[in-house]
Structure 1
Amino acid sequence: MSMCMLSWIRRQDFQILTVGTFTYTSDQRFQAIHRENSDDWSLQISYPRKKDAGIYECQISTMPKMSLFIQLNVVVSRAKIVEGPTLYLSSGSTLNLTCMVKDTPEPPDYIFWYYNGQVINYGSPRGIKVHTEKSAQTISKLIILKAQANDSGNYSCTPSNAEPAHIAVHIQNNANPAASIQHGKRSASREYNNGNGCQQLYRSSFIVTILTSLIMALFL
């Protein structure tokens, strides 16, 4: 009597993934798990991806064949930068970015911060700090003291087990906004003088004319 074999099949493309404990596909992320003297067979998928979602068939080579169908849903874990997607700061301010990672089966092994595509050097004497707290909702904070205009750019938070998050940071010199404000005040003052000021002068002249007419009437 021949021994029955158990196979795992991906129904999306009818790809045979495993036969017994042998991985039949070239994608080595798939592996059949079976303990000796046990009737339990499991299909293990390492580092599951969104495209792995779908129906899987557990098939036993009996006559007739027996099958069990299982629907796999893959939740894509994503990071989120709270201050995003765009942040404006004045030069000399503290740049504080908070990255939240949730909906992950376990906390990420690491979280890297990138600036314009390059890993940020946490040991820089510039006063760059990163603090990470791992839990059901992992939080990582990037702090740059006395940020300058040349710290403007694209920042990314990249966890080991989630999609990265991005933010565009714009740091402006203090002189430019102040000059703009002063210019705005001067413009407003000129508009007042050319508009409401003329109206005020007209009303004053009108009142003087009335008073002059009353005085003349009293003496006639």
Structure 2
Amino acid sequence: MEVSWIRRKGEEIHLLTFGLHTYASDSRIALIFRPPNNWMLQIKYANERDKGYYECQVSSHPPLIYYVLLDVIVPRVDIVDERWAMIDYKFYKEGSTIELNCVVSHVPNPTSYVTWKHGQRILNYDVQRGGISVKTDILPDGAMSRLFIANANYNDSGNYTCALGRIASTSVYIHILKGTLKTR
């Protein structure tokens, strides 16, 4: 009796393992065999491109086929402004309050801590500058974190990053302008 793992992509069939041999060109894929009859397919560092149908085939009589649909949920981190629009950069008038919202989603029961950085400086507990406030709410499928920086000045310009541990992060560039902002 031989056991093989196969991946189906549409009409394409890719042999991943046969017996104790791995045929996948992707080094993240391995076979773990635990006697007497436990043939596990391992995919290290699974990502979105690994989503799809897999088959475990046993060459018994009659043949046995076990179908698996792998779904990979990728954590998402977005920085949005006070109007909940996703942003890559934002302009603020000197003396105003910077308000950024970080929405973490697709993370069931998050256990990592949401951090805010300005450049390489962590802002969550920054007491040097003053006027910085971070409030984070843990939600069933992610988190919502708000960063407020009062009395913005030129030194507050730069790259701001919101991160959920080492799982996922995103950044926004903040520009602080002297004088008044003209609106159309």
Q: Normalised by the size of structure 2, how large is the TM-score? A: 0.67
In 2, Cα distance between equivalents of 1:114 and 1:170: 15
2:173 is aligned with 1:177? no
* Counterpart in the other structure of 1:165: 170
- With a CA cutoff of 8 Å and minimum separation of 6, indicate the structure with the bigger relative contact order: 2
In 2, Cα distance between equivalents of 1:82 and 1:143: 13
Residue 28 of structure 2 contacts residue 43 of structure 2 at CA under 8 Å; is this kept in 1? no
Larger radius of gyration: 1
In 2, Cα distance between equivalents of 1:131 and 1:18: 52
Structure 2 segments unaligned to the other structure (5+ residues) = none
Structure with more strand by fraction: 2
2:109 is aligned with 1:112? no
* Counterpart in the other structure of 1:16: 16
Percent identity (aligned): 34
Residue 116 of structure 2 contacts residue 160 of structure 2 at CA under 8 Å; is this kept in 1? yes
The RMSD of aligned alpha carbons is 3.7
Any idea what the Cα deviations from partners look like across 1:101-143, whole Å, max 9, x if unmatched?
1122331512232334x24243341123333221224111222
- Count residues in correspondence: 170
* Counterpart in the other structure of 1:142: 147
In 2, Cα distance between equivalents of 1:138 and 1:19: 44
Any idea what the Cα deviations from partners look like across 1:138-171, whole Å, max 9, x if unmatched?
1112222322112112222122475433322121
Q: In structure 1, the residue corresponding to 2:180 is in which secondary structure?
A: helix
Residue 112 of structure 1 contacts residue 119 of structure 1 at CA under 8 Å; is this kept in 2? no
Q: In structure 1, the residue corresponding to 2:49 is in which secondary structure?
A: helix
Task: List aligned pairs for 1:91-130, cutoff 5 A.
Answer: 91-116=94-119, 118-121=120-123, 122-127=125-130, 128-130=132-134
Structure 1 segments unaligned to the other structure (5+ residues) = 182-220
Residue 57 of structure 1 contacts residue 68 of structure 1 at CA under 8 Å; is this kept in 2? yes
Q: Structure 1 11/96 Cα, relative in aligned 2: closer, same or farther at 3 Å?
A: same
